[in-house]
Amino acid sequence: MSKAPAGTLYRGREGMWSWVAHRVTGVLVFFFLFAHVLDTALVRVSPDTYDKVISTYKTPIVNLLEFGLIAAVLYHALNGLRIMAIDFWEKGPRYQKQMTYAVLTLWFVLMAGAAYPVLATSFRKAFGS
Amino acid sequence: MTTTSPQLEAPRSRSRSRTSFEMYSWIFMRMSGLLLVVLVLGHLLIMNVLDGGVQRVNWGFVAGRWASPFWRTWDLMQLWLAELHGTNGLRTVINDYAVRDSTRFWLKMLLYTSAFLVLVLGTLVIFTFDPNMK
């Protein structure tokens, strides 16, 4: 019976994965910000040009991406508050794991609340009346 | 059979700089982050969630909002804080993952160029927007 050595790849726990998610969501939001400043700049070109480009945001697929963007921003914001609590609150480091689950719970509840107002119109458009 | 530990490259030398740029960058991420939680979540709530969300956004809607100095100031602060916060975050990511000196240098030049263009363009648009444009 061979005994394989324990793996050396650190698979992390709550602290590492919340850090990974913070990076990934941060980079995604940064790239969106680039596109968003360009699309908003079209208000200086003409009302028609702006309205034409903004109408693509109202299609069901882009609307779903918008929901993903909200999810990314909201996670980054809540986890950012957790990071500040770890850095500046004396009991922060001790409760970092509990705060990770608090972040995820709050994130889930707020996303569930946002789902209908954000997606309802597209849902009706995509699946009829 | 003898095992030897792998040859590791020496860590990159510390920045020769004597200033505390990295400390100010650390503080900036937290201070701007705190403001952005309010600015950006407020922006998302108004633009994407309440009252029909993005479905009711058009040129007239933007013109209505930017008639108010309050929302122009909000958007200007949001633009600058988010772009600087994001640029500093990407700078950290590039420093972490780009191994070759020249790759790191050029990625950061690309990053700073894009940040400069976004800040100039966004600021100009907010200050020169004409609500009576036809």
The chain A residue lying nearest B117, using CA atoms, is A34
pLDDT the model gives residue B29: 97
Q: Token pair of A85, please? A: 């609590």
Confidence of residue B24 (pLDDT cuts 50, 70, 90): very high
All structural domains of chain A: 14-127 (1.20.1300.10)
Confidence of residue B134 (pLDDT cuts 50, 70, 90): low
pLDDT the model gives residue B1: 57
As for how many domains chain B has, the answer is: 1
pLDDT the model gives residue A37: 97
| Distance separating alpha carbons of residues A6 and A76, to the nearest angstrom | 34
* pLDDT tens track for A81-98: 999 999 999 998 999 999
| Distance separating alpha carbons of residues A102 and A110, to the nearest angstrom | 12
* pLDDT tens track for B30-50: 999 999 999 999 999 999 999
Structural domain boundaries enclosing B86: 24-128
Residue B6 forms part of a structural domain: no
Selected for mutation to probe chain A from B59, B72, B94, B121 (highest A CB count within 10 Å) is B59
Can you give the CATH number for the domain in which B100 is found?
A: 1.20.1300.10
Residue B8 forms part of a structural domain: no
Task: Choose among A23, A27, A80: nearest Cβ to B37.
Answer: A80
Are the C-beta atoms of residues B83 and B123 closer than 8 Å to each other?
Answer: no
Q: Is the ipTM of this complex over 0.90?
A: no
Please name the residues in contact with B104: beta carbons below 8 A apart, sequence gap of 6 or more. Answer: B94, B95, B98
Locus of tokens 């809607």: B61
Residue B59 forms part of a structural domain: yes
Q: Which residue has the higher pLDDT, B68 or B6?
A: B68
Contacts within 8 Å (CB) and 24+ apart, B38-42: B39/B74, B39/B77, B39/B78, B39/B81, B39/B82, B40/A73, B40/A77, B40/B78, B40/B82, B41/A73, B41/A74, B41/A77, B42/B74
Locus of tokens 């990511």: B93
* pLDDT tens track for B70-115: 999 999 999 999 999 999 999 999 999 999 999 999 999 999 999 9
Selected for mutation to probe chain A from B118, B128, B130 (highest A CB count within 10 Å) is B118
Q: Is A117 exposed, middle or buried (0-12, 13-18, 19+ CB in 10 A)?
A: middle
Residue B12 forms part of a structural domain: no
